[in-house]
């Protein structure tokens, strides 16, 4: 099994499939959708294979594939997964599969849409799997670039130009800053390689680490939506078409957090120890601020957008505690939040497709017409408010435990967000799904199709499954976190 280049297939298959899509006849929409669905399904299944095949007691990195790329510069194509990235690969598989299903109704140039979506997927898989820093940056840019097209062409007409531009600028500037940091690492080490494992074992001087850590960490964290560089994200989420929002909030934001961990914290542990104690204040703002803003939004999709900012703050907060619990929680939260947000955006999209509005005041009584959607949203809502029995609790409980150990005051301030989250979730459940249904929707809003139910069902299943059987994920994440803790010189 280990000889079979499964990771490489996962990474490159979407790109290949996307290229093939360009050669399919553009008017055969059914064919294009089937092709996309098949690709999504294969990716989903392969990611499950990787997840299940990952041996917790085995080597730290598994499913390794390595080829020289530009040997003169020490650049290689080097992929593998550890206990933190394997769940993220699965997450991406889930989101790509469900995202394709939800995009079934895309009518405008579906061929190009799916092609770009798959190129994006290659970038995402590549970042999660790369052990070569150059390759990581390379895939990172591949992931960011198609977003611009996807949003500005297929996005919501009102704001797509603005949002796409804003998003692209933020992310490129972030990645340039991170790239500068990355190059500094490369030259300082002088090993002539971008291999992150070798860079990891190189002892950078404390001064160097303190100087360059903020570049790398914040540069990547922009994509994770860290305050005050979060503003691209709600606007971007709202303007993007449904599947792209799912991908974007569900997976892409994790790229930022993941790369900040992999390149920032793991290569510059002393820098992390020096800087994260103040960065945790930024994450606190993220958590509470995002929740507050979500509470007063009038547009359903903006509520989810800002809730995403709030929940991603918890991931960074988990990192910033520099405790084992915090990292475990953050690792689980990346998956939990990814699936949950994908579910939320799918729900928003399904409602918008039929009701043609996202204004909370204008909606109502949707549960009657779409009971399955309402049920799915309620499950997502329970996850987001950290209800035990759902994945959100499994993620947030360790995070709060970690924060409590390192910064009790911050823990107390941050739990406020749980209350506010409950407030906005309840508000949406109450006014969008229950209450009176406006007359005009009668006859216009129908229940969703069976395949859409399947997509929502898969997402819900993951959220509930992790909540009830946390041991399907926690030990795996923990095995990855152990290594991070060793690098940090703790435990």
Partner 1 sequence: MQTTTLIWLIPLPPILAFFLIVLFTNRNNRLSHRIAVGAAVISWLLSMVVFFTAIGKEHFGEQVFEDFIQWLPLGKHSSLEIGVLVDPLTAVTLFFVGWTVLMIFIYSIGYHNFGQPKGDDDHHGLPPHGATVEKDGKKQIVPSIEPMYARFFAFIGLFAFGMFTLVVSNNLLTLFVGWEIMGLCSYLLIGFWYGKESARDAAKKAFMTTRIGDVFMLLGISYLFKATNTLNFRDILHNEAVLDALAQADSGFLGLSAAGLIGLLLILGTVGKSAQFPLHVWLPDAMEGPTPVSAMIHAATMVSAGVYMVIRMFPLLEVGEISLSVMAFIGAFTALFAATIALAQKDVKRVLAYSTISQLGFMIAALGVGAYVAAVFHLFTHAFFKALLFLGSGSVIHGMEHGVYHTGNHEVDPQDMFNMGGLRKKMPTTFWTFLIGGFALSGFPLITAGFWSKDEILADALAHNPAVFWTLALAALLTAFYTMRQITLTFLGEPRTEEAKHAHESTRSMTAPLVVLAVFAIGAGWIGIPEHFPALGGIIPNWLHDFVGGTLLHNPETLEEFDMIPLLVSIGVALGGLLLGWLVYRNVSAGSEDPLRKPLGPIYSLFENKYNIDEIYNVLFVRPAMWVSETFTYLFLDRKIIDGVLHFVARISFEIGAFFRNSIDKPIINGFGDLVGFSTNKFGHWFRRIQTGRVQQYMLVALLLAFASLFYYMVALQP
Footprint of partner 1 (CB under 8 A): 166, 228, 231, 289, 292-293, 295-297, 324-325, 328, 382, 385-389, 394, 397-398, 400-401, 404-405, 408, 411-412, 415-416, 418-419, 422-423, 426, 430, 434-435, 470-471, 474-475, 478
CA angle, corner 262, sides to 57 and 342, nearest 5?
Answer: 90
Question: Minimum distance from CB of 408 to partner 1 (Å)?
Answer: 6
- CB nearer partner 1, residue 49 or residue 387: 387
Nearer to partner 1, 192 or 408 (CB): 408
Nearer to partner 1, 6 or 437 (CB): 437
Q: How far is the CB of 194 from partner 1 (least distance, A)?
A: 32
Tokens representing residue 233 in the block: 């994200």
Tokens of 322: 């520099």
**Minimal distance in Å, beta carbon 466 to partner 1?**
10
The answer to whether the CB of 402 falls within 8 A of the CB of 283 is no
Smallest gap from Cβ 133 to partner 1, in A, equals 29
Residue 484 beta carbon to partner 1: minimum distance, rounded to whole angstroms: 13
**Considering the complex, what minimum distance in angstroms separates the CB of residue 489 from partner 1?**
16
Cβ of residue 251: shortest distance to partner 1, in angstroms? 24
Exposed e or buried b for every residue in 130-150, given b needs 16+ CB within 10 A? bbbbbbbbbbbebbbbbbbbb
Closer Cβ to partner 1, 100 or 334, answer by number: 334
**Nearest approach, Cβ of 411 to partner 1 (angstroms)?**
6
**Residue 338 CB, nearest approach to partner 1 (Å):** 20
Q: Which two tokens stand for residue 211?
A: 């100087």
Q: Which is nearer to partner 1, 68 or 158 (CB)?
A: 158
Indicate the residue among 17 and 307 with the shorter CB distance to partner 1: 307
Comparing CB distances to partner 1, the nearer of 52 and 412 is 412
Residue placing its CB nearer to partner 1 in the complex, 79 or 399: 399
| Residue 96 or 249 with smaller CB distance to partner 1 | 249
In the bound state with partner 1, the residue whose beta carbon lies nearer, of 85 and 297, is 297
Distance in Å, CB of 465 to partner 1, minimum: 13
């Amino acid at each position: 099994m280990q000889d079979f280049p499964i990771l490489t297939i996962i990474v490159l298959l979407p790109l290949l499939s996307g290229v093939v899509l360009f050669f399919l006849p553009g008017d055969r929409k059914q064919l294009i959708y089937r092709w996309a669905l098949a690709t999504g399904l294969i990716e989903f299944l392969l990611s499950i294979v990787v997840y299940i095949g990952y041996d917790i007691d085995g080597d730290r990195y598994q499913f390794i594939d390595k080829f020289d790329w530009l040997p003169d510069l020490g650049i290689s194509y080097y992929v593998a997964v550890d206990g933190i990235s394997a769940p993220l690969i699965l997450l991406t598989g889930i989101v790509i599969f469900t995202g394709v299903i939800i995009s079934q109704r895309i009518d405008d140039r579906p061929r190009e849409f799916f092609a770009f979506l798959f190129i994006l997927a290659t970038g995402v898989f590549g970042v999660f799997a790369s052990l070569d820093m150059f390759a990581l940056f390379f895939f990172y840019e591949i992931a960011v670039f198609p977003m611009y097209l996807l949003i500005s062409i297929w996005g919501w007409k009102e704001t797509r130009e603005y949002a796409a531009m804003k998003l692209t600028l933020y992310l490129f500037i972030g990645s340039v800053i991170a790239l500068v940091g990355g190059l500094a690492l490369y030259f300082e080490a002088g090993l002539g390689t971008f291999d992150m494992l070798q860079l990891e074992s190189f002892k950078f001087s404390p001064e160097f680490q303190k100087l360059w850590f903020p570049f790398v960490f914040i540069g990547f964290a922009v994509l994770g939506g860290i305050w005050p560089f979060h503003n691209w994200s709600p606007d971007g989420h709202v303007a993007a078409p449904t599947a792209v929002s799912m991908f974007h909030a569900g997976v892409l934001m994790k790229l930022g957090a993941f790369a900040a961990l992999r390149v920032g914290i793991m290569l510059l542990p002393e820098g992390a120890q020096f800087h994260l104690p103040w960065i945790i204040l930024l994450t606190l703002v993220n958590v509470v601020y995002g929740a507050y803003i979500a509470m007063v939004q009038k547009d359903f999709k903006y509520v989810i957008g800002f809730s995403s900012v709030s929940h991603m703050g918890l991931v960074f907060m988990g990192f910033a505690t520099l405790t084992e619990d915090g990292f475990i929680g953050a690792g689980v939260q990346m998956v939990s939040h990814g699936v949950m947000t994908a579910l939320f955006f799918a729900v928003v999209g399904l409602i918008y497709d039929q009701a043609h509005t996202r204004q909370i005041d204008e909606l109502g009584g949707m549960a009657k017409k779409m009971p399955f959607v309402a049920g799915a949203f309620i499950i997502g809502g329970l996850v987001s408010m950290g209800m035990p029995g759902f994945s959100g609790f499994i993620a947030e409980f360790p995070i709060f435990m970690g924060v409590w150990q390192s910064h009790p005051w911050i823990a107390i301030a941050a739990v406020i967000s749980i209350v506010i989250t409950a407030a906005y979730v309840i508000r949406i459940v109450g006014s969008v799904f229950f209450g009176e249904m406006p007359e005009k929707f009668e006859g216009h809003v129908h229940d969703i199709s069976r395949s859409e139910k399947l997509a929502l069902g898969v997402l819900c299943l993951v959220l509930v499954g992790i909540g009830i059987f946390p041991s399907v994920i926690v030990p795996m994440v923990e095995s990855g976190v152990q290594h991070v803790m060793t690098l940090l010189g703790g435990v």
